[in-house]
Amino acid sequence: MDFTNSVLPNTQFILQKIPHLIRLKLMNTKMITPSIQIEIDKGRYIVKTANSYDEISQALSLRFEVFYQEFSNHKYSSPLPYDIDFYDFGCDHLIVKEKESEKVIACYRLRSDNSHKKLKRFYTEGEFQIDDFLNSLGNKLELGRACVHKDHRKGTVISLLWAGILEYAQKSGSRFMFGCSSVSRNDFEQIPNMLSWLEENDGFINHLAINVHSKYTLPKELSYLKNTIITERSSQKALNSLMHMYVLAGAKLSREFAYDSEMDCIDFFTLIDLDTIPNAFKKKFAA
């Protein structure tokens, strides 16, 4: 048996989560209480900011299921099935719950400049050098750790998430929304086509310096993704559903992209200016 490739990664994965899980169990009222209260009731679902241990725990468990068991090529088995890090204690968790089962079936992790939960930096700063952006004027809202249970990936749930995000952005006084958009390994071959589409449709960030930290640079075996030239006209179908939604909201992506070895995915810094978001998008997803 190859212990290096099987047992050790899982052991490390479990050990690095334990301090955060202990902290989760000991969360006090201030840590659980969201900076901004959101609650939108619609049909069989409700979208809200999590305000209980059970809701936050369910969101972290859903993230583990989607990220590590469904999409990642690195399959992690763990008696502690949670995707958790220290950022989870300094952010709000926007969730969608199914009323009948009371299960969390979708979630986003949100952190605004105006949050009472203080963190020294944003999660995105771990992968990208974004000082140029952070020093620009306007309040900022980071979106991250987005996922939807495979049985609920449909328009209603996506619409509810966006209704919650837009209301949260408005209540937090945010001008910009930003974060990482991910492409899983199964879709790596689509990246050259996606880059071509973004070039044709003014989809890149050109007014800010956005670079990748050395730890997240592309490994040699993936360097071809940046050098492959698409000659035929590309298609928006090259974008995955989450990126497609961001583009509909007027998002622009970084030319430089990062490789996340733990998640085995490629990340693009993604930026949405709420002052220029299309009115049609706002109307479609308004609560």
| 260, part of any domain | yes
Q: Tell me whether residue 198 is in a domain.
A: yes
Amino acid, res. 5: N
The rounded distance, in Å, linking the Cα atoms of 149 and 157 is 10
Tens place of pLDDT per residue across the chain (287 aa): 333 344 445 677 677 788 888 888 887 777 788 999 999 998 899 999 999 999 999 999 999 999 888 877 666 666 678 899 999 999 999 999 999 999 999 999 999 998 877 788 999 999 999 999 999 999 999 999 999 999 998 888 999 999 999 999 999 999 999 999 999 888 898 898 888 888 888 999 999 999 999 999 999 999 888 876 555 555 555 677 788 889 889 999 999 999 998 888 999 999 999 999 998 888 888 76
Which of 221, 287, 220, 225 has its CA nearest to residue 256? 225
CATH number of the domain that residue 74 is part of: 3.40.630.30
- Structural domain of residue 75, as residue ranges? 7-285
What are the structure tokens assigned to 79, written together? 């008696």
Distance, in Å, from the CA atom of 159 to the CA atom of 139, rounded to the nearest integer, reads: 24
Report which residue type is found at 213.
Answer: H
* Under 8 Å between Cβ of 137 and 83: no
pLDDT of residue 84: 92
Residues 6+ apart with CB under 8 A from 175: 137, 138, 139, 140, 273, 274, 275
Q: Which of 266, 172, 169, 181 is nearest to 216 (CA)?
A: 266
pTM for the full predicted model = 0.89
95 close to 104: Cβ distance less than 8 angstroms:
yes
With respect to residue 206, please indicate whether it lies within any of the assigned structural domains. yes
As beta bridge partners, residue 48 has 39, 95
Could you tell me the two tokens for 264? 């085995």
* 231, part of any domain: yes
What is the 3 state secondary structure string of the chain? Answer: CCCCCCHHHHHHHHHHHHHHHHHHHCCCHHHHCCCCCCEEEECCEEEEECCCHHHHHHHHHHHHHHHHHHHCCCCCCCCCCCCCCHHHHCCEEEEEEECCCCEEEEEEEEEECCCCCCCCCCHHHHCEECHHHHCCCCCEEEEEEEEECHHHCCHHHHHHHHHHHHHHHHHCCCCEEEEEEEEEHHHHHHHHHHHHHHHHCCCECCCCCCEECHHHCCCHHHCHHHHCCCCCCCCHHHCCHHHHHHHHCCCEEEEEEEEECCCCEEEEEEEEECCCCCHHHHHHHCC
Do the domain assignments include residue 145?
Answer: yes
Return d(Cα 72, Cα 63) in angstroms, integer. Answer: 12
Q: Within a domain: residue 199?
A: yes
185 exposure class (CB count in 10 Å sphere: 0-12, 13-18, 19+): middle
**In this structure, are residues 159 and 221 in contact, taking their beta carbons and an 8 Å threshold?**
no
The number of folded domains in the chain is 1
Q: Examine residue 1 and state whether it is found in any structural domain, yes or no.
A: no
Q: Assess if residue 233 is contained within a domain.
A: yes
The rounded distance, in Å, linking the Cα atoms of 180 and 258 is 9
